[in-house]
Structure 1
Amino acid sequence: KESLTSVSVVHGGRNSLLLAHEVLATQTSLNSDMIDDTDSLLAEQRAALRFPDVTINDSPDGTHLNGHNSFTAPRPTVEQLERVAASSHRLDRGMGALAGLAVADSIGHPLEFVDVAPESGKGLSSWSLREFIADGSTNPFLDSTNQSTAASLTSLLPLPRAMGGRRAAAAYSPGYTNPFNKFGLDAGQWTDDTSMALCLADSLLRRRRFDGSDCRVLFWAWWFGGYNNAFRKDSRRSGSCGLGGNISRSLYSMEAHETPAPAFDAAGEDAGNGSLMRLAPVALFHCGDTQRAAEDARASSYTTHPGPIAAEACAFLASLLVRCIDEFDASASSARAFVCAVADEYAQALEERAGERGVAEVCRLLRSNEPDGGTERNWNWRADSLALGDVMRARGDTYNGYPNSAGYFGSYCLDGLAIALHSVCQTASFDGAIEHCVNFLGDADSHGAICGQIAGALYGYRAIHPKLRANLHAWDDGQVALRAALLMTSDDGCDEAGHAGAPA
């Protein structure tokens, strides 16, 4: 409307004013058609959801759910997903948060387990956005219109050399220098971060509320049945990949033929990044309500991680994602200024809960004011440098009672969150944030996934480079972004706050 008003003022006259009204009417009609198309598509997809019946048993084969597809309606095209995102700024950002998680996970994995870099891009391996975009090779899993052909091609292609830690030289993964690629993934394929996020999304969609017990059942189905892994369309492989230590203990604690407790009851206060890396669905389900998002985020962390620090970190991340989706205005402030302001407000609110377990540590991270040379200097995510080389030396062989591994740096929840926040604040786009983040190496897929959630919520689905979205689409048929849209339009979730409507 602002641009149309300026036209009538500059040119004046009745004709230009009529033209402005005609353009506005046309735009309104197009927006209305787009919204109707979005509502119809989402209603069709929601009505056709068919989630599996899962029973925890004592003889899982690891693959029996690998081929299950919960979406039985015709798969959406790339263009249809773009129209869904274009129908609402908030849908665009919500889809960006979940698709961003998956995209960053897939980009980060070939760099995972490589010794952490002292600065982004200064390590043994790297991924270049520029080289990725300029790469002229053809993705063998996409046709000329970027539609997936994975199911018809994978049986003809060799499985990349990967198991046992060998480089997957045969994998289709452009843009990398010295990738490790432990699991031999092709571009767009994901690991545990995305698989568990999809399980969390499916539980919210099928239970229409947060249900910790149901989440744990679907997490079990992922690892022991192949549910929601990246290989539904890849006939060369089937078993899931990427199980971490904390989550492993949670999954193996469940008894056969019994409903698991909603929280993993275990001694210790393990606080890995595994509950942060998968979190976006909770925020999308509660878009418009930071309090409910934070409450369920804590509960979602306790399904696998007994530590209160991880739970409080999840509460902050969920609140941040909701506010990014609801409030960020690129014309009014930078992403850095917005994220810093949200962190300051959240830290101020945490002071009312001083003394509660996990609160002090998260508040320290948000304040971002650690001394140089300290073991948490990397928590200064607002600084130009995280000084990871100095931090590794300061921590020595162990940190907080755990081995200090250069190849797994970022796996502690606050370390991973700090890297993600820093990467968002040092860049001005989704693609740039992910490139900056994964090039710290270490636990690159997981701190990348955390960064992808934040950057996606700030910049939106359509801001993710089309080649990155296309690579994901080759394996997921658009179902990652589709889940985000369904979560945001759930009557039991965010209601009108997230319903597809006129652009904000």
Structure 2
Amino acid sequence: MDVTDRAVGVLLGCATGDALGAAYEFQPPLAPDVPVEMRGERGTRFAPGEWTDDTAMSVPLAQAAAAGRDLLARDTLDWVVGEWMRWAETSSDIGAQTKNVFARLREPDAKAAAAAGREVHELTGRSGGNGSVMRTAPVALAFLDDERGLAEAARTISRLTHFDPDAGDACVLWCLAIRHTVLTGQLDVRVGLGALGGEAAERWSLLLDDAEGKQPSDFQRNGWVVEALQGAWSAICAGVDLVDVLERAVRGGNDTDTVAAIAGSLAGAAYGAGGIPTQWRDIVHGWPGLTADDLADLAARIVSRHAVR
């Protein structure tokens, strides 16, 4: 398994976890012996294998990085926000925080989006949902050759919709962990603690310790970014392979697609693209008309531009 295979695993793991969890969202935890099936959402919103907002919002970031665009450049971020708004025009699956931010925008403008995110936070007193960490995986691939730039980009892109420091911290931690795993093949979620510094690093270290002794079902407030990340990390720690990790994340209940997408992005880096069963990969698809093979191509193109030489 090489860097490219692990990078492909990042995007495919995220999308597969997302699609797998779609059928179980907002339902209670499942017993360990209940099978988890790639069946789509009950009703008409998502077909079997179709990803939700988690992957849809990550796609423009992956496309920009694959095209060689700088994810910290204002024009790139404006374009990403524009693509998100285009997706939102036809989507029925938008997180509350993101929806509130978009409602305040009249044109695709990254600076205005970040200002709207702060405004929503100040008006409501909260913006620590999991909606920015769910989409953050492509950012890690775009900075394989720039660890310091990755920490800055992860937080900057999080703040386009989520002002709360917890959301930014989670994106920094997860992106740096993905980068490390893609480059080395070793899982270590704590490699990013130094980028947080001080009290935040100490707090997140304790939160990760807590997750390692529990199961995803122990984190029922997983719409909150902290428990979403804890639930994802607990699934990775307990899982024996990529399928097991994703199924454990889904069995945790509640925001199943997001926790499984988050877990899948990091576990996918560890187990690579080959960890995803063919019967799942063959049907994974979603906005804007892409397939798993398209995501694999995006990941390979990003690596060709940003791999450490």
Counting only pairs closer than 5 Å after superposition, residues 288-303 of structure 1 correspond to structure 2 as 288-303=145-160
TM-score (norm 1): 0.54
Cα pair 1:93 1:457 within 8 Å, conserved: yes
Shift of 1:462: 1.4
Distance between the aligned counterparts of 1:276 and 1:126, measured in 2?
A: 28
- How many Å separate the matches in 2 of 1:281 and 1:274? 14
Contact kept? 2:68, 2:302, Cα under 8 Å: no
* 1:314 corresponds to which of 171, 177, 184: 171
Give the deviation of 1:367 after TM superposition: 2.5
Q: How big is the shift at 1:187?
A: 1.6
Amino acid at match of 1:322: R
Q: For the Cα contact (< 8 Å) 1:216–1:262, is it kept in 2?
A: no
1: CA distance, partners of 2:100 / 2:91: 16
* Cα displacement (A) at 1:294: 1.6
- Cα-to-partner distance string for 1:18-49 (whole Å, 9 max, x where unaligned): xxxxxxxxxxxxxxxxxxxxxxxxxxxxxxxx
Alignment match, 1:435? 247
Partner of 2:139: 282
Q: Decide which of 85, 91, 103 is 1:252's aligned counterpart.
A: 103
SS at 2:114 equivalent: coil
Give the equivalent residue in structure 2 for 1:481. 296
Rounded to whole Å, the distance in 2 between the matches of 1:221 and 1:126 is: 38
- Compared CA separation, residues 243 and 387, structure 1 to 2 (3 A): closer
The residue number in structure 2 matching 1:462 is: 274
For structure 2, the 5+ residue unaligned runs are none
Match of 1:198?
A: 59
1:326-365 to 2 correspondences below 5 Å: 326-328=183-185, 338-339=187-188, 342-343=189-190, 345-347=191-193, 349=194, 353-354=197-198, 359=200, 363-365=202-204
State the match for 1:98 in structure 2: 11
Alpha carbons of structure 1 residues 380 and 306: separation in structure 2 relative to 1, 3 Å = same
- Counterparts of 1:467 and 1:198, CA distance in 2: 22
Structure 2 counterpart of 1:424:
236
Q: Which structure features the higher share of helix residues? A: 2
Q: Distance in 1 between matches of 2:243 and 2:307?
A: 30
Provide the residue aligned with 1:113 in structure 2: 26
Q: 1:386 to 1:94 in 2, by over 3 A?
A: closer
Name the CA distance, whole Å, in 1 between partners of 2:308 and 2:192: 25
Does the aligned pair in 2 maintain the 1:289–1:322 contact within 8 Å?
no
SS in 2 for 1:281: helix
Distance in 2 between the 1:489 and 1:180 partners? 35
Aligned in 2, Cα 1:264/1:423: closer, same or farther, shift over 3 Å? same
- What SS does the aligned partner of 1:488 have? helix
1:410-446 CA-partner distances (Å, limit 9, x unpaired): 1111110000000000012111100010111100000
Give deviations 1:192-231, integer Å, cap 9, x for gaps: 111101022123344610133222111111112xxxxxxx
| From 264, 275, 280, the counterpart of 1:452 | 264
RMSD: 2.6
Asked whether the 8 Å contact 1:197–1:279 carries over to 2, the reply is yes
Is the 2:144–2:183 contact (alpha carbons within 8 Å) kept by the matching residues of 1? yes
Distance in 2 separating the partners of 1:92 and 1:450: 18
User: Are positions 1:223 and 2:88 aligned together?
Assistant: yes
Q: What one-letter code is carried by the residue in structure 2 that aligns with 1:101?
A: C
1:261 aligns with 2:73: no
Task: Describe the superposition over 1:452-482 as per-residue Cα deviations: whole angstroms up to 9, x where unpaired.
Answer: 1011011101111111111116963421111
Instruction: Indicate which of 205, 216, 236 corresponds to 1:366.
Output: 205
CA–CA separation in structure 2 for the residues paired with 1:205 and 1:385: 35
**Cα distance change on mapping 1:279 and 1:346 into 2, 3 Å:** closer
C-alpha contact (below 8 Å) 2:41/2:47 kept by paired residues: no
Mapping 1:1-400, distance limit 5 Å: 89-115=2-28, 117=29, 121-122=30-31, 127-128=35-36, 173-174=38-39, 181=42, 183-206=44-67, 208-210=69-71, 211-224=76-89, 239-256=90-107, 259-261=109-111, 263-265=113-115, 266-267=118-119, 268=121, 269-328=126-185, 338-339=187-188, 342-343=189-190, 345-347=191-193, 349=194, 353-354=197-198, 359=200, 363-368=202-207, 380-385=210-215, 388=218
Residues paired across the two proteins, number: 295
TM-score by length of 2: 0.86
Q: Distance in 2 between matches of 1:127 and 1:264?
A: 41
Uncovered stretches (5+) of structure 1, i.e. residues with no partner: 1-87, 133-172, 225-238, 330-337, 370-378, 393-408, 498-504
Does the Cα contact within 8 Å between 2:217 and 2:253 map onto a contact in 1? no
Question: In 2 relative to 1, CA 112–464 (structure 1 residues): closer, same or farther, beyond 3 Å?
Answer: same
Report deviation, 1:350: 5.4
Identity of aligned residues (%): 24
Q: Please say which structure displays the higher CA radius of gyration.
A: 1
Measure, in 2, the Cα distance between the counterparts of 1:290 and 1:260: 23
Provide the C-alpha distance between the structure 2 equivalents of 1:284 and 1:306, rounded to a whole number of angstroms.
Answer: 23
> Deviation at 1:310?
0.3
How far off its partner does 1:489 sit?
Answer: 1.2
Equivalent residue number for residue 157 of structure 1: none
Question: Alpha-carbon deviation of 1:366?
Answer: 2.7
CA shift for structure 1 position 183: 4.7
Contact 2:81 2:109 in 1 (8 A): no
Larger RCO of the pair (alpha carbons < 8 Å, separation 6+): 2
- State the shift of 1:354 in Å: 2.1
**How far apart, in 2, do the equivalents of 1:440 and 1:387 lie?**
4
- Secondary structure of residue in 1 paired with 2:111: coil
Alignment check: 8 A CA contact 2:250 2:259 kept: yes
d(CA) in 2 for partners of 1:434, 1:96: 13
